[in-house]
Structure 1
């Protein structure tokens, strides 16, 4: 099931054959006519049909060209990481992928020095991967698809060492307008199941905005002409009204594709260019890990 704010365009066909009129002297064209006719007839009998894109890839194609393509996910929805893997493979296979930027690794960490044949352990080491927070079984295929294509993977998140300074930096209070800042703070309350002390909300919002700013900077720095940078992050980070796109500079073209599990809240109008619906998450209490003495993910 999928929905798109922009109509998908079909993939361009490369199956047709074009022949130039070469102005051959009289007589030579007779020698070439038979094999040429056979080639044309053969093509008519067995046309080379281009592979049809999946609905998800058709959505993404409708968003291109762009400097940056932001793909928002629900971290606990494996179907969303499958979509990301599919997007990376597809874009890399077409030679259109400039870089893959991931929220799941810190800025400053990258695979640029690795070969296409690098092992998964080498990739995890290069990215400083925290497998306890981000299961490699889910995100590894996304990263490795880029590495195997010779495309750099770069961390986009604010390193932990910078988080405290970001929480105390009051300039981030002025980055969003009052309504957007209130929306960001409300999302933090909801995302932490109402368990955060209210006094911590302003600092957490600053940290969230600073993380978005860092991801925006890393993605912008990875741009290449005629290609697209893919940024993979949580759905809240990619929204136009409050997230990474609020940090773009004039002239940068970015599109937002949001993967949405059935039953999750709808984005506000203008927050995303495309929404791709996936099955509902398994029934359960998403707040249980946060209520535990030590949550699975901070």
Structure 2
């Protein structure tokens, strides 16, 4: 029995509420929940291929509806874009325009389909991330601490500690948090500048960047409307899910010991 049938039969309020909060099952269903929106923030787990597949499908669907304004990506530095390239540009030209090399750390086979679907649609791909050349200055810029409330700043710092498995020296927590804040600010500014009336700018970033209570939404200018979609692999308790307007669930990933991997990286350095 689907949600519409449940509601039509006038069954319990609890069942109807459960249907209302059920994760969307198709891209059109997802878009019906979050549009219209000048900015649509799509969160992801970077190692979940189904999440990049969702992004590609969203790009193609919005393009068919003539609603796609641009795609802003965390994976590309601010200032880089495909603006000016023809829609039939090959991957080499696109990667050159975006500065996308193996050294960026973002695998082209993973994100190439999203990028190329955007280029084929005629909409631009815009880099939104903080340029590497600006990171050192950001780490030393205590003014970034004032971009958010004290409570948000402390939660961001706790997030840096946890995501680095408690292995970072305490002296690095504040500088690393400033980079996170600067990245959120950069992504927000890029998306806001790309807004086109009647269309949607899609922003692609990790779930931590798109969450309403800590990330990019806090840095968007007043009056810029937005919606947040959180993509998650496997079943996650609602209390553990980052705040958003919709959750897109995908199959669970094989278990990984991220802290063990990070510890090995630290030892190599």
TM-score by length of 1: 0.78
Residues 5, 200 of structure 1: alpha-carbon distance in 2 compared, 3 angstrom cutoff: farther
Is 2:55 aligned against 1:66?
no
Is 2:84 aligned against 1:113?
yes
Residues 269, 120 of structure 1: alpha-carbon distance in 2 compared, 3 angstrom cutoff: closer
Is 2:158 aligned against 1:186?
yes
1:256 Cα offset (Å) = 0.3
CA shift digits 1:193-240 (9 cap, x unpaired)? 222111101111111001100100100111111000000001000011
Equivalences for 1:132-151 in 2 at 5 Å? 132=103, 133-151=105-123
1:283 Cα offset (Å) = 1.6
Which of 157, 167, 177 is 2:149 aligned to? 177
Q: How many residues align?
A: 250
Which of 211, 225, 229 is 2:197 aligned to? 225
1:7 Cα offset (Å) = 5.2
More helix by share: 2
Which of 257, 282, 290 is 2:254 aligned to? 282
Q: Is the 8 A contact 2:130 2:186 kept in 1?
A: yes
Q: Is the 8 A contact 1:212 1:237 kept in 2?
A: yes
1:56 Cα offset (Å) = 3.6
Partner of 1:245: 217
Is 2:36 aligned against 1:75?
no
1:57 Cα offset (Å) = 3.3
Q: Secondary structure at the match of 2:102?
A: coil
1:131 Cα offset (Å) = 3.0
Q: Structure 2: how far apart are the matches of 1:191 and 1:125?
A: 32
Q: Which runs of 5+ in 1 are unaligned?
A: 9-52
Q: Provide the aligned C-alpha RMSD in A.
A: 2.5
Q: Structure 1: how far apart are the matches of 2:249 and 2:267?
A: 28
1:285 Cα offset (Å) = 1.2
Residues 183, 264 of structure 1: alpha-carbon distance in 2 compared, 3 angstrom cutoff: farther
**Larger Rg: 1 or 2?**
1
Residues 181, 267 of structure 1: alpha-carbon distance in 2 compared, 3 angstrom cutoff: farther
1:268 Cα offset (Å) = 6.4
TM-score by length of 2: 0.86
Q: Secondary structure at the match of 1:72?
A: strand
Residues 256, 224 of structure 1: alpha-carbon distance in 2 compared, 3 angstrom cutoff: same
Residues 5, 76 of structure 1: alpha-carbon distance in 2 compared, 3 angstrom cutoff: farther
Partner of 2:171: 199
CA shift digits 1:27-64 (9 cap, x unpaired)? xxxxxxxxxxxxxxxxxxxxxxxxxx952431222111
Partner of 1:215: 187
Q: Structure 2: how far apart are the matches of 1:293 and 1:285?
A: 13
